[in-house]
Structure 1
Amino acid sequence: MKIFRIVIIEDEPRAARQLQKLITNSTYSFEVLSILDSVEEAVSWLETNLNPDLIFMDIQLADGLSFEIFHKTEVKAPIIFTTAFDQYAIRAFKVNSIDYLLKPIQKEDLQQALQKFQATTYTASINSEVLKELLHSLQAPNVRNGILVKEGSAYVQVPIATLAYIYSETSITFGITIDNKRYIIDETMDQVQSTLPYTDFFRINRGQIVHKSAIQKIEPYFNHRLKLEVLHDRNQDFIVSRQKASNFKEWLNS
């Protein structure tokens, strides 16, 4: 049986480990060559290594959308995208027969995608027009007006506009409002981010999303990062990762 060489491009360590475990436990033989967590790292790896047989690629990486990889280097391998975005927001995948898996990835869905990979003659080329449509869809998703949160034993809906920031702690997602109320959000950070307006919210690192109006001060921080002073910080440090610092500055000026 042929052993397929794969690369995982995913910036969430736990998600990467889970995917690798699912692949290892599948009925097919695969060797994971590398796990990469950013556009920059992916481009560097692809330009200095032989082409893998298959790439699993998350849409949102530490330093931007993974579609940027295709603009910076030639990708000569079939892609299975992984994403927490709603299937309606990624309808354009079907146009170019690109496969995708919705997070959290289920064993049965992965098995089906791998069966399709083995049974189909994949084209490694990605249609640029499809990418443009995908990019538009993801930057302008079906934004909601409110978010369901826990209040005691009940659920209430909090207007998105009232959130100062969202953060994750011990695998629980919390939302802090501009009047300093804290709520538990029954969604992952990826799920929350997928329906927030990009013009208002920015994910500064894996565990924090901030509203533009909640940012009170920005200071340079070591290792080319940025440190933010945020409304109602609750003794948290808000650090913009090195990979996201440039995009963050552009977002502030947009």
Structure 2
Amino acid sequence: MRILIIEDEPRAASQLQNLLNKSTFDFQLLDIIDTVEDAVLWFKKHTTPDLVFMDIQLADGLSFEIFQKIEVSTPIIFTTAFDQYAIQAFKVNSVDYLLKPIQQKELETALHKFTKSNETKVIEPVILKELLNSIQTPQKRSGILVKEGSGFVQIRISELLYMYSQDSITFGVTHNKRYIIDETMDQLFDSLDDTKFYRINRGQIVAKMSIQKIEPYFNHRVKLSVSNPRDQEFIVSRQKTGNFKEWMNK
């Protein structure tokens, strides 16, 4: 079985590869790709794989954009950290998915389902549109639970200046305090208003209101000055710089 992994989180890609190695299936890993742009180029240059594991949120956009740029006739198993509201669209449209963090048993079940199927599942345009609408529909959220002492308190989303991940812990920073948020960066960003918050790289999300200055930085990136930066540097990744500037202009 020739497998392609499209995933922008190195840790998630490594975990998936380890789970595949532990499975009872013989496979050949063709490549690991982390952007929409590189995925499109890969499909244009290579023979179609037998199966693709595809994350939804990539470094330069939603993976669904791949299908808008090129025809992909390979069966897809999406890997996602999106909440139940979005996953419902996958169930309705019979598109396979694995919820992160992926479990060995669930992977084995998905692979068995794939090997027993005689049909090549191609994502039809109408299904793609429904999935895109579901994923992109903002899930309004006004508050968030954060750790305080031995318990939790709720703070307003509007108080957060930025969020970041460090040593597998997610932090949220306000003007006065730093909180621990009991969610992954993927889960957190997926529930935020994307007109007010931008994920500038894998480990940082910044509120538009907190950005004070934007300066050119090495390798076509930009560096941000934000309110209450503490010990953090805010560098927009190269792949996201163009989209970030467009977002700031809105």
TM-score by length of 1: 0.94
Residue 217 of structure 1 pairs with residue 198 of structure 2:
no
2:238 to 228, 239, 242: 242
2:14 to 3, 13, 17: 17
Moved more, 130-139 or 146-155: 130-139
Letter matched to residue 235 of structure 2? I
Letter matched to residue 131 of structure 2? L
Could you say what secondary structure the match of 2:49 adopts?
Answer: coil
Could you say what secondary structure the match of 1:204 adopts?
Answer: strand
**Per-residue CA shift, 1:113-142, capped at 9, x if unaligned?**
111111123434222222222222222242
Residue 166 of structure 1 contacts residue 209 of structure 1 at CA under 8 Å; is this kept in 2? yes
1:125 to 122, 126, 135: 122
1:108 to 105, 108, 111: 105
Provide the C-alpha distance between the structure 1 equivalents of 2:140 and 2:218, rounded to a whole number of angstroms.
35
**Per-residue CA shift, 1:224-253, capped at 9, x if unaligned?**
111111111113111111111122122222
Letter matched to residue 247 of structure 1? N
Letter matched to residue 188 of structure 1? T
Aligned partner of 1:253 in structure 2 is 249
How far did residue 46 of structure 1 move?
1.1
Letter matched to residue 156 of structure 2? P
Residue 99 of structure 1 pairs with residue 99 of structure 2:
no
Provide the C-alpha distance between the structure 2 equivalents of 1:180 and 1:44, rounded to a whole number of angstroms.
46
Letter matched to residue 117 of structure 2? T
Letter matched to residue 44 of structure 1? L
How far did residue 90 of structure 1 move?
2.7
TM-score by length of 2: 0.96
How far did residue 208 of structure 1 move?
0.1
2:142 to 145, 151, 154: 145
Provide the C-alpha distance between the structure 2 equivalents of 1:207 and 1:122, rounded to a whole number of angstroms.
39
How far did residue 36 of structure 1 move?
0.6
Provide the C-alpha distance between the structure 2 equivalents of 1:114 and 1:217, rounded to a whole number of angstroms.
48
How far did residue 31 of structure 1 move?
1.2
Gaps (5+ residues) in structure 2?
none
Provide the C-alpha distance between the structure 2 equivalents of 1:215 and 1:132, rounded to a whole number of angstroms.
33
Letter matched to residue 162 of structure 1? E
How far did residue 41 of structure 1 move?
1.3
Residue 93 of structure 1 contacts residue 99 of structure 1 at CA under 8 Å; is this kept in 2? yes
Count how many residue pairs are aligned between Structure 1 and Structure 2: 250
Could you say what secondary structure the match of 1:203 adopts?
Answer: strand
Provide the C-alpha distance between the structure 2 equivalents of 1:226 and 1:74, rounded to a whole number of angstroms.
34
Identity of aligned residues (%): 66
Aligned partner of 2:200 in structure 1 is 204
Gaps (5+ residues) in structure 1?
none
Letter matched to residue 197 of structure 1? D
Residue 41 of structure 1 pairs with residue 38 of structure 2:
yes
Residue 69 of structure 1 pairs with residue 66 of structure 2:
yes
Distance verdict in 2 for CA 1:108–1:241, change over 3 Å: same
Provide the C-alpha distance between the structure 2 equivalents of 1:229 and 1:192, rounded to a whole number of angstroms.
22
How far did residue 99 of structure 1 move?
0.3
**Per-residue CA shift, 1:53-106, capped at 9, x if unaligned?**
000000000011111111122212110001100132132223432100111111
1:136 to 133, 137, 143: 133
